[in-house]
Structure formats: structure tokens, C-alpha cells
Chain A
């Protein structure tokens, strides 16, 4: 039971990171109907920018951790968002009225471009950082098995919750959010009502990239390393999460992320670490057999 509790804590933390990335996939799919295969690499870029800005701040002599973290968070969100905006602008927008596969192929190409660019610019080796947030709480101590909740885990989960709350407010209450939903439902009608569709799509990429940057920074804090290849696996996992939750559904992406995180950690805990990916993807296949549109996806019948 103690062991289980510990694994659930770990799973929720991992799931938060997946969920933040999954939102970017699901949002872009909802609005332009394409899978942004470069999104995992945007997450990787976010991790690198977090690392670089962290090192710069430390070398400038800053020592107060909360301030460092806040600056790193904002800087990596801003710069990664710029990457997301640029990728859409140069690789997807020119192909928007082309055949359906074109933007997807372009996205796969963009994924290679971003990971190779990081490899060339930052080197191929894993970049470790010393633990930035240390300490934690012991929740339970029975028969020598300790259930711990570390401060890093608390930071990851709380940051995720806060950002999701802001994001939900943005989508459901602001004009930008309304425009995004309108474009998702009927782009032509949105334009007839004065919505700048291109700008709204750009903003979707910007927001998705900013959330992926947060995930990248959380990954850096939690695992203490980044490398140019980390976007690939994390991207595929987060994409799986988005599909599992129902692609196009924002709560679905978060739920899917959480589930994939939990499945992975629990499987590793009780069965074998080597097969954790098999477990995650198998669950996806099983769910899709019975619920083809995912857990919270809506069936495609709603046409007026």
C-alpha cells in the first residue's frame, strides 16, 4: 500500500508533464486538423531554454531560488512561444490550403530540424544540472518503507494546476478563447464575424508552445537533465495521451496525460521497466477499440 501510494505520487508528477505537452497537440488538432509532430521538439527546446536561462541567472549571481524559478519559467515560455509561432509561420501556414498530408510531412521535417539544430548548437551529450529544488516531506514511514513527497514534485504539480486554471479561464472566458473555439468549429463563419483566423491560429501555436515550455522546465527540474533527443519519446507519449483522452478535447488531454503517467509508473513498479512503453501504448489500443474517439472525445456526428 505504501509502495502503491509512492508510485501514484510519481505517476501524477509524470502525468502533469505529459498533460501539459498533450494540450498543445490537442489544441492544434482541434483548430487546424493536423498533428503537429514538431511539438515534442518544442518541448525539448523549452527544456534547453530553461537550462540556459537558469545557468545565466546563476552566473549573474542570483541565489534566491523562487525568483530564479519564476524568471526561468517566464523566459522559457516567452522564447519557446516564439519558436512555436515561427514554426507555424514558416512550415505550416504556407501549406494550409495544400493537400491534407502536406502540413503533416512538413511537421515531421520540422521535428528533425529542431532536434538536429539543438544537437549542433548544444552538443549531443546529456546536459545535467544539479538539483535546484531540494528537500521534501515524509508522508509515511512504516516498516522502513518511506513514502516521500519531494518539493520538486510539489512544485511540478502546483505549477501545472495553476497554469491549467489560467489556460481554462483563457479558453472559456476571454475573447481570444472564444475566437479559438469559433475557429475550431467553423473557420469560415468566424471570419465572417470579423475573426482574424490566421492570427488566432498563430496564437494557438504560441499558447501550446508556452505550455510545452513549462513542461520542458518541469522535466529539467524533476529529472535534472535535458538532451536533444528527449522531445521524441516525450512527444509520442503526450500525443498518445491526447488521443487517449480524445483528440480535440482539452480536459481529455489532461486526463490522458495523467493516465499515461500513472500507467507507466505503476507498470514499472509492479512489472518491468523495460515494457512500460508497451503498457502505455497497449492501453491506448484497447481504449480506442471500445471508444474510437477517446475517453472524452466527442463522436463526429454533430453536423448541422
Chain B
């Protein structure tokens, strides 16, 4: 399913931490304007895939193409400057910086124009009004949900072409999780933002996404549209049934 509009294309990607191989030949493709979900159990390699796209760790084999350009060997900061943004595992808010500075960090590398920055900030406030009240507070003092909003907001500040979200609903109250999923949907519909989302909550993620991939032990085992995957018995038994959403 090679298409000319493919924004991110990953071919035969392998990566390892020391001797432990975490990605064993992954193929993934994301078109412009798509929301793609990556689901799988703990330790399947989902977060590793997101980090390998940024060169941390470096790919041992395979190719990562962004907008047709080979970015496999670029430095991490150079990849970020292509407007690929990530809200990573564990959120990684700068704890001793204010919320305002955390957001500025997101904009610094790509948004040099002061009016662009202001517009970006407004966009983030519209999605997460809570952050506006917390601007002067230190990142480390925010609640889990607020930190998640900040991590996503920070990623959005670079006006990304590709947004990668690692478990945006992890540890959040259902109401806040829904808020965040709604925000992602809005961004996709209004601004045509391309999103790669990693989730353990497969039900939520597959309902949100246009397409999905299932990852098992460092390999993609299934792919299809969100509703297709939701119907598959192996997906249901592994990731849906027995869980909260049954």
C-alpha cells in the first residue's frame, strides 16, 4: 500500500538495547492527515519504535523516511527540527521549569517568529485551558493529568507535521483521558495533523484512529483500519476482553 502521500515510512527497522533486540524488522507507513494507532502489550517495543524514529537508540538496520527523505542517520535534534514532535513515555516534563518555559522549549527549535509562537500558545490554551492557569507554576508540581496536557502541549508548540503520543491516557482519570482523546481528534480534523499514537487502551485508540498496527515482541503482526482491528478475535482476546472495557 505504497502511496505518494506517505509522510512517514519505516522499512525493516531493527533496534536493540545492548544485546536485547527490541525491534526485529518493523514496517509501518503513515499518510498525511492520518491518525494511526500502535497497540500491543507491555514490552512489545512500541515506545522503542517511537524513540528509534528519533535515533535513540540508533536503528541497527532498516530505513526511516520522513516526507520522502531518509532520516535514519540524522542526529536526534535534527530530526526534531523537521517538525516531528513527541510526547514521550513518562511525559518527561522539565520539573524545575515553569509551565510557560516548558511550552517555550517546545517552540524554540522551529518557531522563531514571535507571532507564530503566540498563535501556537493560544492553540494549546484552547485545547487545555487548565495550562493557562498554571503558567507560572513549576512543571514538577503539576498533577499527572496536567503534566500529560503539558507534554502534549509542548509537542504541539513546534507546530509539528507528525505528532507522536506515547500512552497519552496512562494513569489518567477517564474524564481527563477522554478530554485528551477529544483534543487529538480536534487537531486532526481541524488542522489535518498527522498522529501516531501508542496505547495500551486499545479500545480507545482504535476508535480514535483511522488505521492501526498490532505489535508483538518487536514485530508488526496485524494491521488494518481501526474498526477492522476492533473486530478481529485475536485483538479482542488479547487487548480488549478482560480489560476494563470488556
A residues whose Cβ falls under 8 Å from a Cβ of B: 175, 178-179, 181-182, 185-186, 188-197, 302, 304
Contact = CB atoms under 8 A, between A and B. Distances in A.
Contacts of A188: 56, 76, 92
Given A182-B94, A186-B94, A191 B76 contact: yes
A178 B104 contact: yes
A45 to B, nearest CB: 31
Interface in B198-224: none
Given A193-B106, A194-B80, A304 B90 contact: yes
Interface centre among A181, A190, A304 (most CB of B within 10 A): A304
Instruction: Give the interface SS of chain B, mostly helix, strand, loop or mixed.
Output: loop
Contacts of B96: 181, 185, 302
Interface in B96-123: 96-97, 101, 104-106, 108-110
A304 B105 contact: no
A302 B140 contact: yes
Nearest to A196: B77
A52 B95 CA distance: 45
Interface centre among B77, B97, B106 (most CB of A within 10 A): B77
Nearest to B93: A304
Interface in B67-102: 75-77, 80-81, 85-86, 88, 90-97, 101
A193 B95 contact: no
B154 interface: yes
25 contacts: A178-B97, A178-B105, A178-B108, A179-B108, A181-B94, A182-B94, A185-B94, A186-B94, A188-B76, A190-B105, A191-B54, A191-B56, A192-B56, A192-B80, A192-B86, A192-B88, A192-B92, A193-B85, A193-B154, A193-B158, A194-B109, A195-B77, A304-B90, A304-B91, A304-B95
Interface in B130-145: 140
